[in-house]
């Protein structure tokens, strides 16, 4: 009965989501009634128009909680008529005609028919992995189906029992999940804080290996990790450094090879994960590191061992995307992107009367953000911009800490100066009309 009472309590908060229908021995029809405590009743619960079993009740209750605090997520189709300020296609590769033609002209089949350890490895897979190792400056490369699976594989399998892993508090969920599934002890250090990392390395257990996990560019803030200082620190404490380059690849470094390569740190970073679903504009990921790392992952990384391989068509796509990234067109797109970033930040600063200067996140990357505290307020801001023709995403708590909710604005090489100016103009208008105290 207490379970049903709990459901009723939630239905009161989100009446459109869960309804409780009662039929007792004295009634022949289902109706919304209070639960009596003096005779048996039959209970039927509905949510989203469906009658629920008890498992579904538990799931509907969890969704209702998200409704109540404004954090419920929805699948949505964004308008193609709006200007894109939210996708991770930083350089426009996903919409590139040249890249599409290169992929279409290459002969390939469909479907890999099995995992890499059974029928899913072709000579093309091995050739592309060798090319990727050379492109990123590492002895070996192993392709994964996605960046999430790559991080999950590395961090669940590589750190051993007795090892101690320190990770930046803002690393991606895939890193945290990998560590949660792994066998090593782990703890967070303050974001990009070298002194906090030093203190935690100094106090780490003497047994086992020390491992440090960071991103090169952080997806919610656009911050760049101080990798040179981190390499020095890891060398001092004999720690292995693992870097997630999801938002650095294609955008930074020579030919778009990432931040690690730009700084010449390939020999100092034990392992780097490069994701292709962002700046590369395609799908998949690769883990680069020493030869023994590849052999170890082939044997112990369960997401790799038990997943059907990417098909040959995807390997052709990966090869074509890297060739395009290294071309003159790729260099031109990177220059255009940096110009767009500078213009956006300049226009926001010019509107300081409307947009508080402190609300603009400190970022020199394509990932920009304007803090708009409160889930309701940031959702309203994003909705306003969509009605004005701009696709911008609201990042809410708990994805980011409470009171740091923000509009995540992604700039692209293909955004025009006029589009950026108009976006900032409409953003400033919203801030003037809806100051923080009103929502």
Q: What is the pLDDT of residue 280?
A: 97
> Are the beta carbons of 412 and 84 closer than 8 angstroms?
yes
Is pLDDT at 22 greater than 70 in this prediction?
no
> Are the beta carbons of 121 and 127 closer than 8 angstroms?
no
CA distance 221 to 410: 11
The CA–CA distances, whole Å, from 197 to 159, 169, 305 equal: 18, 11, 33
Is pLDDT at 330 greater than 50 in this prediction?
yes
Could you list the active site residues?
A: 88, 172, 215, 219, 244, 247, 278
CA distance 93 to 101: 12
Q: Where are the domains of the chain?
A: 2-69, 83-93+329-438, 106-325
Q: What is the pLDDT of residue 218?
A: 97
Per-residue tokens: 414: 């293909």
What are the beta bridge partners of residue 244?
215, 273
**Mean pLDDT along residues 311-332:** 94
CATH class belonging to 106-325: alpha beta
Give the CB-side neighbour count of residue 53, counting CA atoms within 13 A: 1
Q: Supply φ then ψ for residue 313, to 5 degrees.
A: -60, -40
* Coil, strand or helix at 243: strand
> Are the beta carbons of 51 and 44 closer than 8 angstroms?
yes
pLDDT: which is higher, 220 or 175: 175
What are the beta bridge partners of residue 213?
167, 242
pLDDT band at 352 (very low <50, low <70, confident <90, very high): very high
pLDDT band at 421 (very low <50, low <70, confident <90, very high): very high
pLDDT band at 10 (very low <50, low <70, confident <90, very high): very low
pLDDT tens, residue by residue, 129-150: 999 999 999 999 999 999 999 9
pLDDT: which is higher, 63 or 310: 310
Mean residue pLDDT of the chain comes to 89
> What is the enclosing helix (H) or strand (E) of 158?
none
Per-residue tokens: 2: 């207490």
Q: What is the pLDDT of residue 27?
A: 55
pLDDT band at 44 (very low <50, low <70, confident <90, very high): low
Per-residue tokens: 392: 């911008």
pLDDT tens, residue by residue, 302-316: 999 999 999 998 999
Q: What is the pLDDT of residue 409?
A: 98
Nearest CA to 415 out of 339, 318, 313, 325 is that of 339
* Coil, strand or helix at 132: helix
Per-residue tokens: 435: 């100051």
83-93+329-438 maps to CATH 3.90.1150.10: yes
pLDDT band at 380 (very low <50, low <70, confident <90, very high): very high
Is pLDDT at 251 greater than 80 in this prediction?
yes
**For tokens 């290294």, what's the residue?**
326
Indicate if 106-325 has the same CATH topology as 83-93+329-438.
no
């Amino acid at each position: 009965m207490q379970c049903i009472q709990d459901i009723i309590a939630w239905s009161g908060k989100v009446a459109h989501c869960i309804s409780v229908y009662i039929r007792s021995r004295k009634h022949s029809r289902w109706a919304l009634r209070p639960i009596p405590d003096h005779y048996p009743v039959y209970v039927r619960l509905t949510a989203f128009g469906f009658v629920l079993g008890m498992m579904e009740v538990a799931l509907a209750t969890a969704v209702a909680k998200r409704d109540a605090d404004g954090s419920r997520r929805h699948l949505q189709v964004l308008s193609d008529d709006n200007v894109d300020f939210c996708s991770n296609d930083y350089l426009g590769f996903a919409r590139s005609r040249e890249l599409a033609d290169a992929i279409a002209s290459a002969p390939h089949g469909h479907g890999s028919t099995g995992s890499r350890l059974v029928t899913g490895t072709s000579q093309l897979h091995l050739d592309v992995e060798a090319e990727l190792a050379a492109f990123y400056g590492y002895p070996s490369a192993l392709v994964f189906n996605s960046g999430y699976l790559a991080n999950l594989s590395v961090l669940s399998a590589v750190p051993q029992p007795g090892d101690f892993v320190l990770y930046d508090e803002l690393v991606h969920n895939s890193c945290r999940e990998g560590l949660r599934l792994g066998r090593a002890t782990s703890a967070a250090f303050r974001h990009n804080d070298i002194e906090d990392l030093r203190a935690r390395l100094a106090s780490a257990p003497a047994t086992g290996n020390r491992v440090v996990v960071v991103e090169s560019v952080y997806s919610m803030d656009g911050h760049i990790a101080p990798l040179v200082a981190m390499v020095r620190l890891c060398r001092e404490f004999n720690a292995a450094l693992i870097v997630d380059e999801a938002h650095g690849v294609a955008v930074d470094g020579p030919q778009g090879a990432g931040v690690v390569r730009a700084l010449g740190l390939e020999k100092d970073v034990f392992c780097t994960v490069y994701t292709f679903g962002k700046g590369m504009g395609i799908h998949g990921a690769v883990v680069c590191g020493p030869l023994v790392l590849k052999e170890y992952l082939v044997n112990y990384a369960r997401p790799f061992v038990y997943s059907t391989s990417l098909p040959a068509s995807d390997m052709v796509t990966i090869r074509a995307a890297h060739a395009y990234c290294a071309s003159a067109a790729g260099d031109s797109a990177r220059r255009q992107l940096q110009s767009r970033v500078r213009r956006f930040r300049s226009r926001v600063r010019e509107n300081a009367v409307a947009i508080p200067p402190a609300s603009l996140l400190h970022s020199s990357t394509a990932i920009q953000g304007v803090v708009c505290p409160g889930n309701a307020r940031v959702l309203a801001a994003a909705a306003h911009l969509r009605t004005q023709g701009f696709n911008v995403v609201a990042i809410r708590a708990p994805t980011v800490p409470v009171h740091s909710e923000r509009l995540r604005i992604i700039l692209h090489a293909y955004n025009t100066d006029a589009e950026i100016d108009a976006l900032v103009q409409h953003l400033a208008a919203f801030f003037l009309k809806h100051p923080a105290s009103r929502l």
